[in-house]
């Protein structure tokens, strides 16, 4: 850390602050234009709404008081799943819908939303016998329209043969089924929709909070505050969408809106631990509270969780009870080379699931609480609130919001089009050919866990062509920049231009998952961090690095 502070001399070199100017240009546009739709909150719900509307030519603005995808959408289990656990509460329609959404995501984002096996161990004395649970997985597979590999029953002996880490002594057996995971990161997935919206002309800005909203003469006037410099101004729009996730209710109070739906919250924690995972599968168990508990591969490290605690305040933090619950369950259910302790924790993920309930009654049946999203519309005031939901259902949310906005009378100048998904197979083939001719994969650092061609395509799609060009111009652009993170110089340069990195943490935690898999101390002590920051922030590199060091001081080692 000291070395990082000592080395903070910004080179006297010409650097165009493209990333900051993208944000600054958008901030200027926000107050100068009248928008058809202003979306508050750029989590998954706000991001898909912006992309679906902007692709139809609607004039959209999207703001978030923090970074894009920095709320609940950065704290999920990273799964695109059909909600197998809701079979137990008999929510067949929800499971069928989520399975359909999962399949749709899997087809649309074949490099990012990947099928993975869930090897599930059932302890003796569990509330359901293994054979019955296995029948449940067959039903799940059927509800998933057979889009994944079929489930399999796994005997007790075979559990530890498949993964020697599983403690099978207290198990009655297990089963394996398929679902999907987000390869890179939930918040990177959210950002891909924000970027799509910007490609279609949406004006998006992070670190801009809505502080007041009022309906005047048939329009919405929303007061905003730039959280970086404190400046305030107003934005005008016809339709206002509140997609503030756990803060939807607060923001509705701010705008004097009364709604039928409201949120209750369930806190969920995951711990990132310093253990190399088996990347081919997720291990699933039933934890001591009877809920499904996952050991998930995340890049070179392992993510374990989650908890499910009812809370009344959405501003949550990890506490010792959460750590103890996760570590003790992980130690009880798995044979690690040595038991996991707090020292093995690299990073922590903590957020609330915003769950939609109707009515003001304080008594909520948590068991029967549906995880389905609800959209509440006030036609007279052209106001929309999005409650609850899952990452998995995001395409449906985008489509639904576009339809509602059209019904509110907003003109859609462009015909319906596909606003999500990777470019088609021919574009990918062309990329693979060009990458091969360039010898891209031979330029990869020998420590890389996957070929560069796959990685760049998955992360950047058609924008990866530009990276090939910069590597052709100068092979140095294919150098891995940070010691512990698989990012090339050309990726950082592109992020600086296109990804509105306003704080260093935006890149390390949300556009990438570096700070989830690399200890904070290793990041800060990396000799190339200075160059890394200069590429992202030019002559503000010094200040941005110090800001990161200070703001993450309490995040541990």
Contact set with ligand FAD (CB under 6 A): 40-46, 63-66, 70-73, 75-79, 209-210, 243-247, 251, 268, 306, 351-354, 389-392
Toward ligand FAD, which CB reaches closer, 247 or 486?
Answer: 247
Pairing of strands 374-378, 345-358: unpaired
Cα–Cα distance, 58 to 35 (Å, whole number): 8
Give, for 4, the enclosing helix (H) or strand (E).
Answer: helix 2-6
Toward ligand FAD, which CB reaches closer, 73 or 192?
Answer: 73
Q: How far is the CB of 557 from ligand FAD (least distance, A)?
A: 23
- Both structure tokens of 223: 């007061």
Which of 276, 305, 282, 62 minimizes the C-alpha distance to 183? Answer: 282
Q: How far is the CB of 269 from ligand FAD (least distance, A)?
A: 7
Q: How far is the CB of 79 from ligand FAD (least distance, A)?
A: 3
User: Which residue intervals of 12-155 are DSSP H helices?
Assistant: 18-32, 44-54, 92-108, 130-143
Toward ligand FAD, which CB reaches closer, 493 or 499?
Answer: 499
Q: How far is the CB of 82 from ligand FAD (least distance, A)?
A: 10
Is the preceding omega at residue 306 within 30 degrees of 0, hence cis? yes
CA dihedral 303, 306, 312, 317 (to 10 degrees): -30
Q: How far is the CB of 446 from ligand FAD (least distance, A)?
A: 33
Task: Tell me the C-alpha to C-alpha distance, in Å, between residue 536 and each of 90, 222, 531.
Answer: 49, 31, 9
Q: How far is the CB of 456 from ligand FAD (least distance, A)?
A: 26
Q: How far is the CB of 44 from ligand FAD (least distance, A)?
A: 4
Residue 400's contacts (CB-CB under 8 Å, 6 or more residues apart) are 375
Q: How far is the CB of 162 from ligand FAD (least distance, A)?
A: 23
φ, ψ at 195 (rounded to 5°): -65, -40
- Both structure tokens of 371: 């995880």
- Which bin fits 514, alpha (ψ -120 to 50), beta or left (φ > 0)? alpha
Q: 458 near 469, Cβ under 8 Å?
A: no
Toward ligand FAD, which CB reaches closer, 268 or 299?
Answer: 268
Q: How far is the CB of 405 from ligand FAD (least distance, A)?
A: 17
- Both structure tokens of 68: 């894009």
Q: How far is the CB of 408 from ligand FAD (least distance, A)?
A: 20
Toward ligand FAD, which CB reaches closer, 396 or 512?
Answer: 396
Beta bridge partners of residue 117, listed in sequence order: 178, 281
User: Which residue intervals of 208-344 are DSSP H helices?
Assistant: 248-254, 320-333
- Both structure tokens of 200: 């279609």
Task: Tell me the C-alpha to C-alpha distance, in Å, between residue 167 and each of 283, 287, 333, 345.
Answer: 12, 13, 6, 22
Residue 89's contacts (CB-CB under 8 Å, 6 or more residues apart) are 367, 368
Toward ligand FAD, which CB reaches closer, 79 or 395?
Answer: 79
Task: Give me the helix-helix angle, 394-407 and 44-54, nearest 10°.
Answer: 50
Q: How far is the CB of 353 from ligand FAD (least distance, A)?
A: 4
Q: 76 near 83, Cβ under 8 Å?
A: no
Longest dimension (CA), the chain: 71
């Amino acid at each position: 850390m000291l070395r990082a502070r000592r080395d903070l001399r910004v080179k006297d070199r010409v650097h165009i602050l493209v990333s900051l100017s993208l944000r600054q240009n958008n901030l200027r546009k926000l107050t100068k234009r009248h928008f058809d739709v202003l979306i508050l909150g750029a989590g998954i719900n706000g991001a898909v709404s912006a992309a679906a509307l902007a692709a139809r030519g609607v004039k959209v603005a999207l703001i978030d008081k923090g970074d894009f995808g920095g709320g609940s959408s950065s704290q999920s289990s990273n799964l695109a799943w059909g909600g197998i656990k809701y079979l137990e509460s008999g929510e067949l329609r929800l499971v069928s819908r989520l399975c359909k959404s999962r399949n749709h995501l899997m087809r649309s984002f074949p490099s990012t939303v990947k099928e993975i096996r869930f090897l599930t161990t059932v302890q003796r004395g569990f509330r359901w016998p293994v054979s019955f649970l296995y029948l449940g997985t067959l039903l799940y597979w059927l509800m998933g329209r057979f889009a994944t590999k079929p489930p399999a029953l796994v005997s007790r002996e075979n559990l530890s043969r498949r993964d020697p880490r599983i403690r099978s002594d207290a198990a009655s057996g297990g089963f394996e089924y398929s679902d999907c995971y987000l390869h890179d990161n939930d918040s990177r997935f959210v950002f891909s929709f924000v970027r799509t919206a910007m490609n279609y002309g949406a004006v998006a800005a992070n670190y801009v909070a809505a502080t007041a909203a009022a309906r005047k003469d048939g329009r919405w006037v929303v007061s905003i505050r730039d959280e970086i410099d404190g400046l305030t101004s107003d934005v005008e729009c016809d339709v206002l969408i509140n997609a503030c996730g756990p803060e939807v209710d607060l923001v509705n109070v701010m705008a004097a809106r009364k709604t039928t739906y409201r949120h209750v919250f369930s806190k969920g924690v995951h711990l990132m631990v310093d253990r190399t995972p088996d990347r081919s599968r997720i291990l699933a168990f039933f934890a001591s509270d009877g809920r499904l508990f996952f050991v998930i591969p995340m890049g070179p490290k392992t993510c374990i969780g989650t908890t499910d605690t009812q809370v009344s305040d959405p501003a949550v933090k990890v506490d010792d009870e959460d750590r103890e619950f996760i570590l003790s369950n992980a130690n009880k259910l798995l044979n690690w080379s040595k038991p996991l302790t707090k020292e093995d924790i690299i990073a922590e993920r903590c957020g609330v699931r915003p769950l939609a309930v109707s009515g003001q009654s304080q008594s909520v049946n948590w068991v029967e609480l549906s995880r389905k999203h609800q959209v509440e519309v006030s036609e007279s005031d052209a106001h929309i609130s999005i409650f609850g939901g899952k990452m998995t259902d995001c395409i449906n949310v985008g489509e639904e919001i576009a339809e509602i906005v059209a019904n509110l009378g907003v003109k859609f100048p462009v015909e319906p089009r596909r606003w999500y998904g990777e470019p088609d197979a021919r574009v990918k083939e062309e990329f693979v050919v060009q990458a091969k001719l360039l010898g891209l994969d031979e330029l990869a650092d020998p420590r890389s866990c996957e070929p560069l061609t796959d990685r760049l395509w998955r992360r950047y799609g058609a924008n990866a062509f530009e990276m090939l060009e910069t590597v052709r111009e100068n092979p140095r652009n294919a150098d891995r920049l940070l010691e512990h993170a698989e990012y090339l110089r050309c990726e950082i340069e592109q992020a600086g231009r296109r990804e509105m990195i306003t704080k260093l943490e935006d890149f390390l935690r949300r556009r990438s998952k570096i700070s989830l898999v690399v200890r904070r101390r290793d990041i800060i002590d990396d000799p190339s961090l200075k160059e890394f920051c200069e590429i992202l922030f030019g002559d503000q590199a010094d200040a941005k690095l110090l800001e990161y060091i200070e703001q993450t001081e309490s995040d541990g080692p």
